[in-house]
């Protein structure tokens, strides 16, 4: 855990946040500035700065993050209508919080 990392604090329940899901490896909570009706963040408890900092041993964690996103999309009711999964990488890629996280975005009206 990194002391000044907001996502570390949330993941280790040192900051009050409604967790939509949690297990030993990760937590899921709502984005505070949502870009869609469903905009949830899948955040590992382990501090990894960004995709660029992944190590070979983190492969299982990434697979679990994606599987969790799939399961949460079903829980949110967007699994059939469609959703996006997004990793922002570094400032130029839109990363604002430098703790690895996966965005689950969906819930737009069907046309």
| pLDDT tens track for 28-48 | 999 999 999 999 999 999 999
pLDDT at 59 over 80: yes
Measured distance CA(31)–CA(22) in Å, rounded: 15
pLDDT grade for 3, boundaries at 50, 70 and 90:
confident
pLDDT for res 72: 98
Task: Say which of 39, 99, 101, 103 is annotated catalytic.
Answer: 101
The backbone torsions φ and ψ at residue 72, rounded to the nearest 5 degrees and listed phi first, read -70, -35
pLDDT for res 111: 56
In terms of Cα–Cα distance, which of 57, 39, 40 is closest to 48? 57
**What are the structural domains, with CATH classification, of the chain?**
6-60+80-106 (3.30.428.10)
Active site residue 47: no
pLDDT grade for 80, boundaries at 50, 70 and 90:
very high
Across the beta sheet with 38-44, the strand order is 21-22, 26-30, 38-44, 102-106, 83-86
């Amino acid at each position: 855990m990194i002391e000044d990392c907001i996502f570390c604090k949330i993941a280790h329940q040192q900051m009050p946040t409604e967790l939509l899901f949690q297990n030993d490896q990760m937590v899921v909570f709502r984005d505070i500035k949502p870009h869609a009706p469903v905009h949830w963040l899948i955040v590992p408890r382990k501090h990894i700065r960004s995709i660029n900092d992944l190590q070979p041993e983190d492969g299982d964690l990434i697979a679990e993050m994606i599987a969790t996103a799939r399961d949460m999309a079903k829980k949110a009711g967007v699994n059939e209508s469609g959703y996006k999964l997004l990793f922002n990488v570094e400032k130029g890629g839109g990363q604002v919080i430098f703790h690895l996280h996966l965005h689950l975005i969906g819930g737009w009206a069907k046309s």
